[in-house]
Chain A
């Protein structure tokens, strides 16, 4: 009987763990709607918060309009058929693009994006690219400029601050499609330490991958 009890306890523990693993779905963040329209504020960091189970992994976060209130969410809820203004606070340094044609922005309004509010650009040099925010199902892909690798006050782990840390602010707009769940990903081989830079965070929803939930 002791054997049976021990077996049952072990099985229950394993079952519980598997259940928790299966139910592990990252949280979602909604876009902000104001008089200026609908806006989505995101940030990328070279490494997730120290309390994170993978605190060395590069990751996206959802933030507020002033770059505060960090939430580790990668499902972004957007209204359908709406022009969305996206702002991405870039705290990560460049890793370079694998497929160069992605150095050109596609699918944004005018096919352009702005860095730190400067004149709209169509493309950037591979060497300056830190990430690419891409939604292949929508034909959207925007190269994100990284902070200089030699910046003194570079941010190490989330949360970072736009005032205290080196940051590049990339903005662009795009029109959401009809209702549905669309996946987004990064195309830059930025998962350092993994072969092809595409392991770990690049293949885990909640870090460099997630969903756009258009409602």
Chain B
């Protein structure tokens, strides 16, 4: 019958289109998927994106092939024609299978995403009480770096060394615990290659974990509109070998001593006088 033939055509076309696209996605595009394998968390995101692309591709091609086929096969080419289509008002079987398929997909995605998220936090800001502390962060004390955002610059406070600096420097192969906070408005600390993004809110300590791998250059940008120079709130950070990091930290301690002695006591949040409209 006609509709069986049409349906077979659609399925065949779908397979023909999907297989190469799927292969392209998984084998060609996936290895270069953002944000790259700069850290354990970033690599996790690459895997996650690969899974999502892998699942999204057949769904997308299914709809597009179906649409294209309909427009090709069922298009009325005789404009004066008054012919009508068949009066089909639904089909319980199709609806059931559609619902089952989409629900399965959705539940799988939600479960998969949750599992990945709970494993290591995926580099996202988790607020003051993280739910996903990576196993490695529980053992040895991770390196704490406080990211102090202000209009319009990120500063990095290393409580272990007692200084604050505008330069982000991290040791390689180390568990880092970012504490992101803000002194004025909302910013967002986005260390692209590390796969870290955490909003900086005034009065909030937003914790994000990342496990660095080899040496790396990091582009840091503000990802939340923070006013006039939002577009210029960027800097470049580095992941360096551990010995090099130790040397750098020592140098900075000396170099920044005059400023460091004026720093307020280390705290998870700061509330500088808000200077209200009332003055």
Binding site for B on A (CB under 8 A): 96, 98-104, 106, 111, 122-123, 125-126, 134, 136-137, 139, 183, 185, 187, 189, 192-198, 202-205, 209
Contacts and interface: CB of A to CB of B under 8 A. Distances in A.
The secondary-structure label for the interface of chain B is loop
A95 B16 CA distance: 69
Contacts of A126: 262
A101 B155 contact: yes
Given A136-B232, A185-B152, A98 B183 contact: yes
A101 B262 contact: yes
B150 interface: yes
B229 A194 contact: no
B93 interface: no
A99 B155 contact: yes
Q: How large is the interface on B (under 10, 10 to 19, 20 to 34, 35 or more residues)?
A: 35 or more
B277 to A, nearest CB: 6
A215 to B, nearest CB: 19
Contact of B164 (A101, A122, A185, A189): A101
B275 A192 contact: yes
Given A99-B183, A101-B165, A136-B153, A189 B259 contact: no
In order of increasing CB-CB distance, the 5 nearest A-B pairs are A104-B259, A123-B258, A101-B164, A197-B275, A203-B228
Contact of A99 (B148, B227, B232, B275): B148
Given A101-B164, A123-B258, A126-B262, 13 more contacts: A99-B148, A99-B164, A100-B259, A100-B263, A125-B262, A136-B152, A139-B166, A139-B167, A193-B277, A193-B279, A195-B275, A197-B275, A202-B228
Interface in B146-163: 148, 150-153, 155, 157, 163
Given A123-B262, A196-B275, A101 B228 contact: no
A203 B227 contact: yes
A202 B151 contact: yes
A101 B275 contact: no
A29 to B, nearest CB: 20
Contacts of A100: 259, 262-264
Contacts of B148: 99
B74 to A, nearest CB: 46
Interface in B224-279: 227-229, 232, 235, 255-256, 258-260, 262-264, 272-277, 279
A103 B164 CA distance: 12
A39 to B, nearest CB: 26
Contacts of B150: 98-99, 187
